[in-house]
Amino acid sequence: MRYRPLSSRLYSKNRAHFMEAMEPGGLAVFNSNDIYPISADSTLPFAQHRDIFYLSGMDQEESILLLFPDAPKPEHKEILFIKKTSELIAVWEGQKLTQKQATVLSGIETVCWLDDFEMLFESLASEAKTFYFNTNEHYRAKVETQTREDRFIKWAKAKFPNHPTEKSNFILQKLRSIKDVEEIDQIKNAIDITEKGFRRVLPFIKPGVWEFEIEAEYAHEFLKNRSDGFAYTPIIASGKNCNVLHYVDNNAQCQTGDLILMDVGAAYGNYASDMTRTVPVSGKFTPRQRAVYEAVLRVEEAAMQLLIPGILIKEYHQEVGQIMTDELIQLGLLDQTMVKNQDPEKPAYKKYFMHGTSHHLGLDTHDYGLVDQPLQANMVLTVEPGIYIPEEGFGIRIEDDVVTQESGPPINLMKNIPKAADEIEQLMQQG
């Protein structure tokens, strides 16, 4: 691995917390992701399932984690199954983890070869009261591909049709939403790399540059700094493309007078960062662009102050909506009559700011978080208001990542990444 791994202490603690939340007699299984085929003999790069990574630190394909806290034998309470290595595999793919290396990385003493899984699982299943299966319950999930986890669940249900089942994901959503100090440090590593990428591209941006060339500059800086690459598909959107929220074509040429919106983030050690900055292609904002930019910046700063323990995300979004409404009135985009006559279910500000302000961030860009429960300390979230004006040919979004505190406003983990209009203009003119 190119990144510095976190301590086995963290993974041991994560497993302990998960097992404390299980019902007596519960047995949980977690599978690695598949290596997905493209066609012929081509495959996508392997990306580990975040849940088994969170519980074990395993970043290798064909790994399985079994947790059985009430197992009669102590050595069966935590078992890690990994792919058996060989001289042939070492020649073609590189050396895989040994059992000892897996123990050092995960903190799990019982490490078996994958070939032993079915026999041992069937033996332990007869002693378990409940199976915990790890289905994807994320509120944004839309999964159409059968996963390795799905195939295991289908097999286990066929083998033991009368076993009661529970969902591991409900436990993990709660655990993963609150970050350990080691996790926050790993997110900071990703953010530091993102900052380097942003500072690299500022003097590079100018009329005539292509969006994909800017993407390439980010990729170069990310990989040079041991990043996993982009945490998500980057958005490099100039001109009218700024108004397409999930624009990922990145194939237009930057024009004089346009703005360019860059929603990018480096990943490090499987942890994500998520940044958006909007800058002038020509190196200087027009008066109108600056007015809208400053309005978005004020909304972002005000929104950050609201992210305190106890607030519900729904209430938070409503308060941010009111702040945004006031700014849109000042910009002449809304008036008091439009606001007075608005549909409460479709507030007037949504015409220009149609997405949410914040989401959880961590091992996933849209990370686990219980959105119907109050915020707690040590949650990492984005803050990303935007104003999109298609009729004027531009849109602006500004996004930072923050971590909530025990009391008071959160800490902005991206405070060192330039976003003041004057500073951005100065840095762009250094190229």
DSSP conformation letters of 258-290: -EEEEEE-EEETTEE--EEEEEETTSS--HHHH
- Mean predicted confidence (pLDDT) in 225-243: 98
Residue 101 to residue 194: CA distance in whole angstroms:
31
- Mean predicted confidence (pLDDT) in 71-86: 94
Residue reference for tokens 């990043």: 227
pLDDT band for position 336 (50/70/90)? very high
Share of the chain above pLDDT 90, in %: 92
Predicted local distance difference test score (pLDDT) of residue 226: 97
Quickly count: other Cβ atoms within 10 Å of residue 140's Cβ.
8
Buried b vs exposed e over 100-116: b needs ≥16 C-beta within 10 Å? Answer: eebbebbbbebbbeeee
pLDDT band for position 431 (50/70/90)? low
Predicted local distance difference test score (pLDDT) of residue 150: 96
CA 299 to chain centre: 23
- For residues 303 and 358, the answer to whether their CB atoms sit within 8 Å is yes
- For residues 363 and 271, the answer to whether their CB atoms sit within 8 Å is yes
- Mean predicted confidence (pLDDT) in 167-190: 97
Predicted local distance difference test score (pLDDT) of residue 233: 98
Residue 14 to residue 52: CA distance in whole angstroms:
11
Q: What's the mean per-residue pLDDT of the chain?
A: 96
- For residues 407 and 308, the answer to whether their CB atoms sit within 8 Å is yes
Residue reference for tokens 């949980």: 28
Report CA dihedral (352, 339, 382, 360) to the nearest 10 degrees.
Answer: -110
| pLDDT per residue as tens digits for the range 356-401 | 999 999 999 999 998 899 999 999 999 999 999 999 999 999 999 9
CA 243 to chain centre: 22
CATH of domain 181-428: 3.90.230.10
| pLDDT per residue as tens digits for the range 132-163 | 999 988 878 888 889 999 999 999 999 999 99
Record the tokens describing residue 39, joined without a space: 């066609």
Residue 400 to residue 406: CA distance in whole angstroms:
20
Buried b vs exposed e over 177-198: b needs ≥16 C-beta within 10 Å? Answer: bbbeeebbebbbbbbbbbbbbb
Domain 8-177 sits in CATH 3.40.50.720:
no
Predicted local distance difference test score (pLDDT) of residue 258: 98
Question: End-to-end alpha-carbon separation of the chain, Å?
Answer: 35
Residue 306 to residue 353: CA distance in whole angstroms:
18
pTM to 2 decimal places:
0.96
pLDDT band for position 86 (50/70/90)? confident
Q: Is the pLDDT of residue 90 over 80?
A: no
* Helix 313-330 and helix 287-306, axial crossing angle in degrees, nearest 10: 150
- For residues 15 and 119, the answer to whether their CB atoms sit within 8 Å is no
Task: Locate the domains of the chain by residue range.
Answer: 8-177, 181-428
Predicted local distance difference test score (pLDDT) of residue 396: 98
- For residues 129 and 8, the answer to whether their CB atoms sit within 8 Å is no
Quickly count: other Cβ atoms within 10 Å of residue 142's Cβ.
6
Quickly count: other Cβ atoms within 10 Å of residue 349's Cβ.
24
